[in-house]
Amino acid sequence: MPSVTGSDSPTVSIVVPIYNEELVIEAMHSRLLQVLVPAGEPFEIIFVDDGSRDASPGMLDSICRSDSRFKAIHFSRNFGHQAAVTAGLHVLKGACAVVIDADLQDPPELILEMLAKWREGFEVVYAQRSARVGEGIVKRGTAFLFYRALGKLSEVNVPLDAGDFCLMDRKIVDLLNSMPERNRYLRGLRAWLGFRQTAVTYERPARFAGVTKYSSRRMFALAIDAVFALSKTPLRIATWLGFLASGASFVLALAFIAERLFGSGYIARGWASTIVVVLFLGGVQLICLGVIGEFVGRIYDEVKQRPLYVVGSSTGFSRT
Ligand code: UDP
Ligand code: MG
């Protein structure tokens, strides 16, 4: 039997995605308790172990066995951060939910501020970074540019510099859970839903320990997912490039006719310019095909209707 028992209808459920975080679990566990216990609200904490290969799964299970406010879901393999958060949202019971990283880059103390805003009537309270500490110039620079480019491209207003760290009302969680799409860029979906949303700002500290689990390749994939989930602009750019190329060819045709009629008649000049034009058009066509391919690939993912994640085992959930 667990030595501490939790409530069946907690006020707040905390979702913590975890991938190989053995170095931070202990510190994260005690920081969360330090913040949540004095607050006096019933809470549950759901660890979603995203196929960790280190000691994390065992550490999480032993926390859950001694304290029934903690629950753990173990994926059968690594499905990615967004899938892990989605799984947490599927099972939580709270009147509101907080999504927080395990590495203490999202300070748990901010949860109290978020709860206060929620009580004021906001359905979404997201944490906005006013500065980032301990992250390299490349990460800070690309993140800065990405959020601004996405702001321009996206059809919904996605707040700048806000990650997944947020509090959401039960209503928002239910709506997110009812959205069937596979490509889950949660910050985008959250913004798309609307309702009353507000920010709390904070300075994002460095990771408590360990290294980032988001490689540059994964960051890039997430950025591409975000753009394609929130915008049809890439397709529109393809159309505009098409117009541009045909407009240019029309002007060139007129110029050649004029040259033939009124000029010296010598037009068999540029071999180099021909090659450049042919390569340019070939490039534009391939890029446009790539853009269409990105959308087709995503449509394929949606049509297959595979589950977003597979749960291998879980600890701390009642049998019902
Ligand atoms: N994470 C996860 N699955 C993954 C990658 C990351 O569940 O495939 C978790 C990770 O354990 C952490 C959170 O997602 O709790 C954010 O990851 P990380 O801190 O590595 O990303 P960063 O803050 O560097 O962007
Ligand atoms: Mg982090």
Test site for ligand 1: of 101, 165, 186, most ligand atoms within 8 A of the Cβ: 101
> Which pLDDT band holds residue 110 (cuts at 50, 70, 90)?
very high
Find the 212 Cα to ligand 1 centroid distance in Å: 6
Torsion of CA 310, 103, 191, 149, to 10 degrees: -110
- Beta strand 12-18 with 96-99 is parallel
Closest ligand relative to 163 C-alpha? 1
Find the 211 Cα to ligand 2 centroid distance in Å: 8
Q: What is the average per-residue pLDDT within 200-225? A: 84
Residue 132 has pLDDT above 80, yes or no: no
pLDDT of residue 320: 47
Residue 232 has pLDDT above 90, yes or no: no
Check if 73 has its Cβ closer than 6 Å to any atom of ligand 1: no
Q: What is the average per-residue pLDDT within 19-23? A: 94
**Percentage of residues in the chain having pLDDT higher than 70:** 95
| More confident position, 251 or 32 | 32
Cα 203 to Cα 107, 154, 161, 167, 311: the distances in Å are 9, 26, 11, 17, 34
| More confident position, 116 or 155 | 116
Partner residues linked to 45 by β-bridges: 14, 70
Nearest Cα residue to atom 22 of ligand 1:
212
Q: Which helix (H) or strand (E) holds 245?
A: helix 233-262
Q: What is the average per-residue pLDDT within 178-189? A: 88
> Which pLDDT band holds residue 267 (cuts at 50, 70, 90)?
low
Check if 212 has its Cβ closer than 6 Å to any atom of ligand 1: yes
Distance of alpha carbon 293 from alpha carbon 16, whole angstroms: 34
Distance of alpha carbon 256 from alpha carbon 224, whole angstroms: 42
Q: Global pTM?
A: 0.81
> Which pLDDT band holds residue 319 (cuts at 50, 70, 90)?
low
Check if 85 has its Cβ closer than 6 Å to any atom of ligand 1: no
Cα 283 to Cα 108, 167, 190, 260: the distances in Å are 49, 45, 36, 30
How many beta carbons lie within 10 A of that of residue 261, not counting itself? 8
Check if 82 has its Cβ closer than 6 Å to any atom of ligand 1: no
Residue 270 has pLDDT above 80, yes or no: no
